Structure 1
Amino acid sequence: MDIAQKLSRPENKPISCIEMHTCGEPTRIVIDGYPNVTGTLLEQRTQALQTHDHIRKRLMLEPRGHYDMYGAVLRPDTELTQLGQAHMGVLFMTNNDYSTMCGHATIALGRFLLDTHDLNTFPRRNDIIWDRESLIADLNIHAPCGLLRLRVPVSPDGRASDPSKPVSFVSVPSFATGLQVPISIGHPWPQLEQKDVPEASVLVDFAYGGAFYAIVDASSLGFMGHLQDVDMQELSKATERLLLSIREQPKLTSYYQHPEEPDLSFLYGVIVTDSVLREGSPVSSAELGVCFFADQQVDRSPTGSGVAAREALAYCKGERGTGSTWSYHSLVSNRDLAPPFVGTIESAGGSPKQVKTAPVHVRVSGQAFYSGFSTFSVEQEDPLGDTGFVFTKLALG
């Protein structure tokens, strides 16, 4: 038996993936080999975590992945696809969990779902409607947080996506839950200790864009230089302690409670912002940010769900109104290695007196590209087939 035959045997559970990136942030799209899960999409998420988490570890962690790998599992059968509201469902995978929303992966999925014509992979591919004049296709994706409405630029015959133009999506209703909330820090990090602040506290905003974020500017954390020049390891330690401090204080849980769905009520990460880009001065209608999410995973992209949360926050603060457009840079796009994400407030609910509690509908746009394809197998004798590991944590015991 040759190697190819051995690795294709059923007991080795081959899993096929399409590899893409959005602003440098990877998306490993599972197109075949993932075990079936049933029920509503949130129930599928729970079932995947409880029953098939070894698959996530296999694909995300070493030796087949890495600490900052990100994945998406296609789910053709959900309650919204059955109702005809969505063309496809999806589960998102991180280094420690199944997240509820992901903008960069949504942008990548928009291109892939337009490009594939395999009805086994995408049964509703022929239901996609595209406009011959604008060359835009409308595509709806059911994420665990809700329905995402995409616009995907297409080729003149409508059979493929146009990689030269950005994909955009309108996210689920986004909203702010707390403005400038003082957070007591039990164990300050060195940069914060150097600041003249009472009882080591940090002012943090909280907002939801399909997932809940604590949003804070770099200087509030004690990093007085520009974000592009900050030591990322030190910043990671600071945000990790900030998250721990928030989660240890029960009174703060109200800032990441979803009004309708308990499964969405958790704090996903911290976004550190800076109005200064690489030229060393503020730039109109643009800002820089670094997102630490899941288990201190660092997003290479500007974070699509984070863009929705930050736009909602700006609206609630009265800094921006409907129709305003803002560019969101990551450290990658800030070096001209990829285009930034663009956020636009399309509409907001409520009356003018309810601005601080209004749900905001944000369109996020960005560009994704293919980077390859892969098939992952496991030999029966391989002890790392269903566990994986994080190399940097092996010395922690």
Structure 2
Amino acid sequence: MAVPSFLRASIHHEIKTIEMHTTGEPTRIIYAGFPPLTGTLLEQRAAAKAHHDNVRKSVIHEPRGHHEMYGAALRPHTEHVDAGAAHMGALFLTHEGYSTMCGHATLALGRLLVDCCASIGDADPSADEETIFPKRGELQFFSTDASSAGNNIGAKGQVEVRLHVPCGIVRVTVPAVRTNTHGGFRADSDSSRLIHYLSVPSFAAGTSITVPIPPSLRWPALPQDQSSITADVAYGGAFYLFVTAAALGFPKSLEKPDMAALNEATRNVKAAFNAHEELPRRYLHHPDAADLQFLYSVFVTEPGRGVAAPVADGADTGVCFFADQQVDRSPTGSGVQARVALAVAKGERKMGQRWTYHSLLSGAAEGGKGGFVGMPVEEVGVGEKVGVTVEVSGWANYMGVATWVVEKGDEVGEGFDFEALGARSSKLDG
């Protein structure tokens, strides 16, 4: 999308994005305008955080974004992409900073990258697909249509995209239809065919953990005689703390939760866990990288709530408070990985058994439309622990395209956090 010529002289920075959502959770995908970064993907993540955080803030924070905005930046050169092990790299952008894994964004990125291949072989491609996805010619279409030859236009099949994200390589399988005989294909719009990805190894870090709650971090719903809560910790590309609403002092279900009260409770639980002298060291350990060893989210769950997908044996509902208390509208793909690993560790799920995981939004939709399906595929070793690889399935949709500009001298336009400003003012007033 070209910027009108009369604006050119005023522009300090220009960023191009494709806007998508997964069950209502946005993914603002940056394909041009992110600063050049070198080194491994984790080194690029560190450099972006240390030297280019203004770019993240300009598209995720207000006035272009909001507290619940989520983003991803395509990284066409990483150690695994350059070695041929992956097709594309990606950094995940939250309101707080840079996540290590994101399932809903992975589903969106898979569809986007497959759709970049639709113009292969066309005489006049309508967009700069080569710029967006240099390795798009390496993707292969595999026909699954028994009634049609794989090379026929309109044949149904699937395409695998290997996506390098900060926690490792994720394999995304996107349902597709062939668009021409030269290798072009695009994601299938048939909503009965889900996008799948195979997770990095996920594992239960600890079950039935006691988290002490100091007096300064109590919340109104916590019973007066209760000085701790019981929770589980599991890893699904990031570390999650799982706790039921009842354990937090909310006996009512998640059908119509008090979001402000849950926000306060989960914020305080996260603070209590992180402040404890022993819990983070014991339960946030990952054998591969220190960059992965932080508590990303507190996830409030209600087992048994929600409509199960036809392929699943049951359903759960949950609400994920992640990063700086962002609330995920989707069922949280990396959270599903962790929940499946936790269920396997507890003996509640068998290999190959599918389960539907709902967010508050998908659980409220007619027929439970939009829930993710999680399935443990195989056991894997993760250091000294036994983990699982998990298949996560869901949908992703387009919303638009945008060219964002930051005008020279516009400090406010570089991004601001209005809620944080209010929090600071309250502390000063107090």
For residues 12-31 of structure 1, the aligned pairs below 5 Å read 12-31=12-31
Equivalent of residue 371 in structure 1, options 382, 399, 408: 399
Equivalent AA in structure 2 for residue 333 of structure 1: S
Greater mean deviation of Cα atoms: 34-43 or 128-137: 128-137
Does 2:172 match 1:150?
A: yes
Match of 1:159 in 2: 185
Write the deviation string for residues 152-191 of structure 1: whole angstroms up to 9, x where unpaired: 0001335110122221100100001110100000121111
Superimposed CA distance per residue, residues 70-91 of structure 1 (whole angstroms, 9 cap, x where no aligned partner): 0000001001111111000000
| 1:210 aligned to which of 230, 237, 247 | 237
CA contact (8 A) 1:7 1:14 kept: no
2:136 aligned residue (116, 121, 125)? 125
- 2: CA distance between counterparts of 1:278 and 1:138? 30
Superposition deviation, residue 119 in structure 1 = 1.1
The residue type paired with residue 229 of structure 2 is V
Q: Is the 8 A contact 1:349 1:360 kept in 2?
A: yes
Partner of 2:58, secondary structure, is helix
Question: Alignment partner of 2:340: what SS?
Answer: helix
What is the TM-score normalised by the length of structure 2?
Answer: 0.86
Kept in 2: contact 1:163–1:369 (CA 8 A): no
Mapping of residues 60-99 of structure 1, within 5 Å: 60-99=60-99
Q: Quick check: 1:304 aligned with 2:304?
A: no
Identical counterparts, % of pairs = 47
| 1:127-276 alignment runs, 5 A limit | 127-133=138-144, 135-157=157-179, 159-164=185-190, 165-186=193-214, 187-193=217-223, 196-197=225-226, 200-253=227-280, 254-276=282-304
Cα gap change, 1:8 to 1:368, in 2 (>3 Å): farther
Structure 2 stretches lacking a partner, 5+ long: 118-128, 146-156, 425-430
More displaced stretch, 23-32 vs 154-163: 154-163
C-alpha distance in 1 between matches for 2:299 and 2:83: 35
Q: Distance in 1 between matches of 2:301 and 2:60?
A: 27
Alignment RMSD (CA, Å):
1.8
Secondary structure of the structure 1 residue equivalent to 2:393: strand
Alignment of 1:277 with 2:305, yes or no, is yes
Q: Is the 8 A contact 1:7 1:377 kept in 2?
A: no
Are the counterparts in 1 of residues 221 and 248 from structure 2 also a CA contact under 8 Å? yes
Aligned partners of 1:396 and 1:91: how far apart in 2?
29
Q: Measured at CA, do residues 286 and 278 of structure 1 come closer, stay the same or move farther in structure 2, by a change above 3 Å?
A: closer
Contact 2:10/2:407, CA 8 A, preserved across alignment:
no
TM value normalised by structure 1 = 0.93
Deviation, structure 1 residue 340: 0.4
Match of 1:224, SS state, is coil
Deviation of the 1:275 alpha carbon: 2.0
State which of 379, 388, 392 in structure 2 corresponds to 1:360: 388
Q: Say if 2:371 is the partner of 1:343.
A: no
Whether 1:319 and 2:348 are equivalent positions in the alignment is yes
Deviation at 1:302, TM superposition (A): 0.4
Assess, with a 3 A threshold, how the Cα gap between structure 1 residues 344 and 276 changes in structure 2: closer, same or farther: closer
Are 1:383 and 2:411 matched, yes or no? yes
CA distance in 1, matches of 2:385, 2:98: 28
| Counterpart position of 2:35 | 35
1 CA distance for matches of 2:79 and 2:306? 45
CA distance, structure 2, for counterparts of residue 275 and residue 318 of structure 1: 15
Cα distance in 2 for residues equivalent to 1:184 and 1:131? 52
